[in-house]
Amino acid sequence: MKLALDIFLIITSLLLMLFILLHRGKGGGLSSLFGGGVQSSLSGSSVVERNLDRVTVVVAILWVIAIIAVGLLVRFG
């Protein structure tokens, strides 16, 4: 069980780093390489950027859950 949680934690950590790096900063970002440069006229944020925000939040929540689970398993396991 601990090995599976450790692997899951490593995968979510790498995904979280990748998604954070894909975000557009003040001067653009790697997301513009994948179509993030096209802006929506209504919201000021592209669909790609909003979806990237959602995926990043989901991965971050899974990452926190994995950290808590590993900590509980080490403490009580």
H or E segment and range at residue 76: helix 47-76
Tens-digit pLDDT profile for residues 32-66? 566 655 554 445 568 888 999 999 999 999 999 99
Tens-digit pLDDT profile for residues 11-38? 999 999 999 999 877 655 565 566 655 5
pTM of the model: 0.75
Q: Is 63 exposed, middle or buried (0-12, 13-18, 19+ CB in 10 A)?
A: middle
